[in-house]
Amino acid sequence: MTTTDPTYLEITLPLPVDLREPAMALLTALAFEAFEETESGIKGYVLKEDFDEAQIRETLSIFPNGPFPFEVSEMENKNWNAEWEQSYPPVEVGTFCQIVPTFHQPKEGFQHTVLIDPKMSFGTGHHETTRLMIQLMEHSAIANRTVLDMGCGTGVLGILAAKLQASQVLGIDIDNWSYENAKENVSLNHIDMDILLGTSEVIPEAQFHVILANINRNVLMADIPIYAMHLQEGGELLLSGFYERDQALIEQVCTSAGLTLADSRVEQSWTALRFRK
């Protein structure tokens, strides 16, 4: 008896930056198994037997100016598990932190190791904004402090905060896939971190010493005043998910909310900022 390797399709979808993660979250529900972010949008990968063009167009029609045109091409058959593992090596931020997928072995010489079970590209820590946030966290006072990780995704930043001896860590994400995967990764790292599903509306009636928010410009600009209300006096707000050209807009909103810029980092035009209250 012979078996046939599964056939995958590559869907190339041009999208503005602020719609990429929401689109990936929606397409995950349509059986897409992996994504790659490009300069102009995203590429998604789905089994040929699970591809439904009409359903994809209907799903994308919820976005402004949607549905967006996309291209479909058939991938050559290969060992996709091996390709996946090769595509996602560990992420290293100096010697401070390494983010290691479960199919790789952690290296010696790092202060902190975060283990993840990656299922989408935006959850692996490979994006510039994740590395920038980790750089800011390296120089933040987190031990024995309460931390809120907004838009926690797969929980990488919150897990690192727990490993930095935060007294309490809460992660919140609007996407159900991220919510479930963050819980898996919390268990994988054997740390204490609560995860909630929802928007900033589900932030409990409490104040935090440190708030992490690696989301996108539009969400940040809408929610920064809410974050500021939940930030203790003297606390720190770490932000990323936007380009360097948008820094002035973010600073303006933060200043209006009573926050002062304390640090900034840039990588490949992406920016991360640290504010104090």
For 238-271, what is each residue's pLDDT tens digit? 999 888 999 999 999 999 999 999 999 998 888 9
What's the token pair of residue 184?
């898996």
Query: Is residue 84 over pLDDT 80?
Result: no
Last residue in a domain, options 53, 76, 99? 76
Q: How many CB atoms lie within 10 A of CB 186?
A: 22
Band of the pLDDT at 126, cuts 50, 70, 90? low
With respect to residue 97, please indicate whether it lies within any of the assigned structural domains: no
Going 91 to 94 to 98 to 99, the CA torsion angle's sign is: negative
Distance of CA 204 to the CA centre of its chain: 22
Same domain as 238, residue 146 = yes
Domain count, the chain: 2
Domain residues for 71?
8-76
Band of the pLDDT at 78, cuts 50, 70, 90? low
CATH code, domain with 27: 3.30.70.270
Strand locations in the chain, DSSP E? 8-14, 34-37, 41-47, 71-74, 91-93, 97-101, 112-116, 146-150, 168-173, 194-197, 208-214, 231-243, 260-267, 270-276
CATH code, domain with 240: 3.40.50.150
